[in-house]
Amino acid sequence: MIDLLTYEFIQHAILAAILVSIACGIIGTYVVINRIVFISGGIAHIAFGGLGAAYYLGFNPLIGASSISLLSALGLGWMDCQGNEREDTIIGILWALGMAIGSIFISLSPGYAPDLMSYLFGSILTVSSQDLSFMLAWDLIILFFVTFFFKQFQAISYDREYARTRGIPVHALYTILLLLIAITVVMLIQVMGALLLIALITIPVTIANIFSQSIRKIMVCSFFISLVFTLSGLWLSYFFNLPSGAAIVVVAGGSYMILKGVRLKIN
């Protein structure tokens, strides 16, 4: 077991687990308290369209995914600025459209697409050192914004209109939050896959919220929970040759169900 740690790909996987858990703990908390889980899922599926296009055109698929998800975050921020109240309908449309475009490009690509499964369902065992440096950079960006704008993010999450009366640039900050979500989504595509990543954004935070009632504590607590889930997923993925995203979701979802059951029993 210990000598496993000497393998480079295992070291990479563990580092990746830590790095994505940082993003999930922080951004997941904002996603859950702002009730924008659907938006985050939307960004993930739209990203898949970019992934497929980049794959077809011969770029690094993750570059395609990042550009499209960042663009869609900007678009959603702009829509919010226009006061569009049916945001979720538009996300529903883009959600399916993203997946459709992704699959069309991939089916147009000549030959067999072996990576496809890993982008849909995650593959933590194939994280390269280049991927790791990107993840580190994304984490630093997230940490920077959240440290500097903590109170502002808290204010716009709790009461936007009041935040506006305090002179806080609500739309700009909300757009930044959407961009940070897009970044988190891109990091998670590698580990969790586009279809499953929403689990790691929501489940650790929901569990952390049972034990802690302040935003800061929820962030820290869900980081650790997320780390436990990803490491267990990594372990399952290695020994049973499963897609890591699926393994993580089974562990996380299972834990959530058990905790809920126990709490229902107690109350």
Q: At its nearest, how many Å lie between other proteins and the CB of residue 159? A: 6
Does 157 bind other proteins (CB under 8 A)? Our answer is: yes
Does 162 bind other proteins (CB under 8 A)? Our answer is: yes
Q: In the set 18, 33, 90, 136, which binds other proteins (CB under 8 A)? A: 33
Q: Which of residues 121-150 bind other proteins (CB under 8 A)?
A: 148-149
Q: At its nearest, how many Å lie between other proteins and the CB of residue 154? A: 7
Residue 145 · residue 30 · CB < 8 Å: no
Q: What is the 3-state secondary structure (H, E, C) of the chain?
A: CHHHHHCHHHHHHHHHHHHHHHHHHHHHHHHHHCCCHHHHHHHHHHHHHHHHHHHHHCCCHHHHHHHHHHHHHHHHHHHHHCCCCCHHHHHHHHHHHHHHHHHHHHHHCCCCCCCHHHHHHCCHHHCCHHHHHHHHHHHHHHHHHHHHCHHHHHHHHHCHHHHHHCCCCHHHHHHHHHHHHHHHHHHHHHHHCCCCCHHHHHHHHHHHHHHCCCHHHHHHHHHHHHHHHHHHHHHHHHHHCCCHHHHHHHHHHHHHHHHHHHHHHHC
**Interface mask (CB under 8 A) for other proteins, residues 47-86, using x and -?**
----------------------------------------
State the distance between the two ends of the chain, measured CA to CA, in whole angstroms: 40
Q: In the set 88, 151, 210, 254, which binds other proteins (CB under 8 A)? A: 151
Q: Segment near other proteins (CB under 8 A), from 46-54, 121-129, 134-142, 165-173? A: 165-173
Does 263 bind other proteins (CB under 8 A)? Our answer is: no
Q: At its nearest, how many Å lie between other proteins and the CB of residue 29? A: 8
Q: Segment near other proteins (CB under 8 A), from 46-54, 85-93, 163-171, 230-238? A: 163-171
Q: Segment near other proteins (CB under 8 A), from 118-126, 152-160, 225-233, 248-256? A: 152-160
Q: At its nearest, how many Å lie between other proteins and the CB of residue 241? A: 39
Please give the residue ranges that form the binding site for other proteins (CB under 8 A). Answer: 33, 35, 148-149, 151-152, 154-155, 157-159, 161-168, 209, 212-215, 218
